[in-house]
Amino acid sequence: MNLLKALTIVFLCICNYSVGQNAFGALHSNYTPTNSLYINPSSILDAKVWLDINIAGVGTYLNNDLVHLENRSLISAIRNRESLTENDYDFNHSRKRYHAYNRTFAVAPSVVWSQGDHAAAISLGGRSYTGVRRIPDFGAQFIENGVPDFTAQHDINYVADNIRVASISFAELKLTYAYTFLKRRDNMFMAGATFSKFFSVLGAGANVYDFAFLVDNDSIIDVGNLQADAVYAWNRKIDPKGGWGMDFGFTYQKMLRDATSYYPNSPKMGCTSIPYKYKIGVSIIDIGNIKFDPVLYQGYDFSDYNWLNYGDADVNEDNPGDLFEEQESSILDGQVRDPNKIRLPTFISGQFDYNLWASRLYVNATVIQGFGVSRRRFGLRHANSISVTPRYESYWFDFALPVSLYEYKYPQLGASFRAGPLTIGTDKLINWLFNTDVYGADFYLYLKVPIRYHPKCKDRQKGRDRDRNRRIRGRDNSPTKCTI
């Protein structure tokens, strides 16, 4: 793989092949706690289903601010994918720094049980993340135009700093427990935690602290200084020593009446439910690292190097970070303290959910703030966002229209629809339906079997339905009084 391909793969190839950010439309429904535990593990309490069995789920979210499909919809691009050429792509020249972000997930059979003051879940699945941050504007020009033949950027001194690239793929087993620790009048206080066991598959990272260079011509680059660390790990099989992670969450619910003796989804209290007027949640998600063993690690700190015939340089696909290995006498010494660990995209979140009408129509507001990664670590920063999601929910149908700001400034309109066991949605509806400049893509799909009632509650509910139908028939058959 030559150097030009290595430069363009970060943006162009990821846009073509990545398979939501957070699936906002399907994230908050009280009928799908197997989804909501990913934003707050305490949210699985007081669910409107006794068991939520997730059979399978897949989804992806991609965004970048450099490469885009020009004036197309995603549907038309998929239909005409064989006719797409490089001329259908365009580049954004308006920024000083560029980034790309991708999250892909798959959920295997998972289940949430919610009854009384307790709830628990077991989840199986896999995730992958790729993050590229702080690519300078001249780097974007090189990605677009190449290096050897783009003479407009020759004979110029460049300095790139604080560029971060990381990618991880892993499988996971998640165990969640949540407990309602206080009920006082119409107030409920709940807390939950998730412990995750990771099984690492693939990891890579690069921290470029300082890179000063000048492109002399089509065959020589003068490297004034390079300080960087890189790591690459591909186990080629699932590694059970992939590390551990944790999520923590807290939820406060304001109920519509006294909930001191309220036990959701339980035969206690006659299997009745008490709606909430609103609830407020706070959580911290994905605390931990993905571990890899063995890893290929390079630490670079050298200067005054003439890189000859750089256009013909081969990048080792089995270890892309060894490009300058011959220039570094102590290749295993670098600034990263634990090169066999790549930090998860940890984030803190706040959620507010308001019952607008009849426990059917709700509106949710969620803020997500990613944590930065320290200088001496490999890792990813979760994309920031704020979302407002009106939704209608019932046992058989959910419909949501999330409006979100990616990185607090790029607007997105999504949609999610659930009919019985099947949920399908996107956080980028406009990109799918209308001709726009497409900087990313997103979709998600879930197949579930929700069991609404505890077996004893189900029998009692049938009895109440029979009594109600008897009363209705009795009124219909009663003699009609006529007055003349």
Higher pLDDT, 20 or 176: 176
pLDDT at 237: 75
Residue type, 342: I
Bridge partners, residue 174, by sequence: 123, 196
Are 179 and 118 within 8 A, CB to CB?
Answer: yes
pLDDT band at 31 (very low <50, low <70, confident <90, very high): very high
Could you list the beta-strand ranges (E) of 265-314. Answer: 276-291, 296-308
pLDDT, tens digit (0-9, with 9 covering 90-100), for 90-124: 999 999 999 999 999 999 999 999 999 999 999 99
d(Cα 188, Cα 185) in Å, to the nearest integer? Answer: 8
The CATH number given to 3-473 is 2.40.160
Handedness of CA 264, 265, 266, 269 (dihedral sign): positive
Are 124 and 157 within 8 A, CB to CB?
Answer: no
DSSP for 181-242, written as a single string: EEEETTEEEEEEEEEEEEEEEEEEEEEEEEEEEEE-SSSEEEEEEEEEEEEEEEEEEEETT-
Q: Which residues of 461-471 are buried (b: 16+ CB within 10 A; e: fewer)?
A: eeeeeeeeeee
Q: What is the mean pLDDT of the chain?
A: 88
Are 9 and 100 within 8 A, CB to CB?
Answer: no
The closest alpha carbon to 196, from 244, 236, 155, 156, belongs to 244
Q: Across residues 194-223, what is the average pLDDT? A: 94
d(Cα 217, Cα 319) in Å, to the nearest integer? Answer: 27
d(Cα 23, Cα 205) in Å, to the nearest integer? Answer: 26
* DSSP code for 321: G
Q: What is this structure's pTM?
A: 0.87
Higher pLDDT, 3 or 470: 470
pLDDT, tens digit (0-9, with 9 covering 90-100), for 33-50: 999 999 999 999 999 999
Is pLDDT at 483 greater than 50 in this prediction?
no
Higher pLDDT, 481 or 64: 64
The closest alpha carbon to 328, from 195, 226, 399, 259, belongs to 226
Is pLDDT at 19 greater than 70 in this prediction?
no
Is pLDDT at 319 greater than 80 in this prediction?
no
Q: Across residues 316-333, what is the average pLDDT? A: 75
